[in-house]
């Protein structure tokens, strides 16, 4: 069970590398960068992160939960991080939440902290790298139809991350397909991946 706003024992070897004082104490969500981390278990092997969608992006107003797993070899190897909150982004899997980010792979350095990771993820939301995608369908939309990508990402932010702004046109298409008995999440994925064409999205839903 998630234990929120937990104080971390100073004697923990791993805790010393998590970014004290910025992340080892609870971070006020109203703070400048709007990032925080909570303890999940007593062994510091699993944490729950949260970042705010950056301003002037389709993710603005959303709050994104992250699963953070700390390996035994930390800080010499990076933490394993994935998005729990669903998100429409070229470098994050819309299915699994897996992240394509160099500092979580071969560009990790032992001097980095979880604060570095969370701020880097915020920066990634503001500046996608579509030529090095984690989700090829999203990346293709990003490059081929930037406005549709923005509207789709904004809708996902509204539906899954609590952002206040969404597209009435897209929402109506979702409701129409849901009225046919399809699962809402499946409808959102189908419409998003089929450029919001109801006919091809319906074919995809029927084939699954």
Identify the pLDDT of residue 40: 87
**Same domain (yes/no): 152, 52:** no
CA distance 38 to 139: 31
Note whether residue 9 is domain-resident. no
Same domain, 159 and 112: no
* Same domain for 143 and 102: no
* Inside any domain, residue 2: no
The structural domain count of the chain equals 2
Q: Quick: pLDDT tens for 108-127.
A: 999 999 999 999 999 999 99
| Domain annotation covers residue 1 | no
Q: What is the CATH number of the domain that holds 95?
A: 3.10.110.10
Range of the domain at 95: 15-126
- Above 70 in pLDDT, residue 51? yes
For the annotated catalytic residues, the residue numbers are 100
pLDDT for res 42? 76
The predicted pLDDT at position 183 comes to: 98
The predicted-structure confidence for 64-121, as pLDDT tens digits, reads as follows 999 999 999 999 999 999 999 999 999 999 999 999 999 999 999 999 999 999 999 9
Rounded to an integer, what distance in angstroms lies between the CA atom of residue 61 and that of residue 121?
16
- Whether the CA torsion 39, 34, 89, 115 is positive or negative: it is negative
Reduced 3-state DSSP string for 133-159: CCCHHHHHHHHHCHHHHHHHHHHHHHH
User: In terms of Cα–Cα distance, which of 133, 182, 179, 125 is closest to 154?
Assistant: 125
Task: Report the predicted TM-score, pTM, of the whole model to 2 decimal places.
Answer: 0.86
- Please indicate whether residue 2 or residue 185 has the higher confidence score (pLDDT): 185
Which pLDDT score, from 0 to 100, does residue 165 have?
77
Task: Output the domain CATH number for residue 198.
Answer: 1.10.8.10
- Average pLDDT taken over every residue of the chain: 88
Tokens of 172: 């109506």
Query: What share of the chain in percent tops pLDDT 90?
Result: 77
Residues 31 and 113 in one domain: yes
Higher pLDDT, 21 or 172: 172
pLDDT for 4:
41
Name the residue with higher pLDDT: 208 or 9: 208
Q: Choose among 75, 83, 73, 84: nearest CA to 20.
A: 75
15, 25, 40, 118 from 22: Cα distances, Å: 12, 7, 18, 11
Starting from the edge strand earliest in sequence, which strands make up the sheet with 80-83, in order? 35-39, 46-52, 63-69, 80-83
Q: In whole angstroms, how far apart are CA 101 and each of 123, 170, 185?
A: 11, 30, 26
């Amino acid at each position: 069970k998630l234990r929120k706003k937990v104080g971390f024992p100073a004697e923990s070897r791993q805790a010393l590398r998590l970014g004290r004082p910025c992340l080892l104490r609870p971070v006020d969500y109203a703070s400048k960068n709007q990032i925080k981390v909570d303890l999940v278990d007593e062994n510091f092997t699993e944490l729950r992160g949260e970042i705010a969608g950056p301003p002037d992006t389709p993710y603005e107003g959303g709050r994104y939960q992250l699963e953070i797993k700390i390996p035994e070899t930390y800080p010499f190897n990076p933490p394993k991080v994935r998005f729990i909150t669903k998100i429409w982004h070229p470098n994050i899997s819309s299915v699994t939440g897996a992240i394509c980010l160099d500092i979580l792979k071969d560009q990790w350095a032992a001097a980095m902290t979880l604060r570095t990771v969370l701020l880097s993820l915020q920066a990634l939301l503001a500046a996608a790298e579509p030529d090095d995608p984690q989700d090829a369908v999203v990346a293709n939309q990003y490059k081929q139809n930037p406005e549709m990508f923005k509207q789709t990402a904004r809708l996902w932010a509204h539906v899954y991350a609590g952002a206040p702004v969404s597209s009435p046109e897209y929402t109506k298409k979702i409701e129409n397909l849901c009225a046919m008995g399809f699962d809402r999440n499946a409808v959102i994925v189908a419409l998003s991946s089929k450029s919001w064409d109801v006919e091809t999205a319906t074919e995809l839903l029927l084939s699954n």
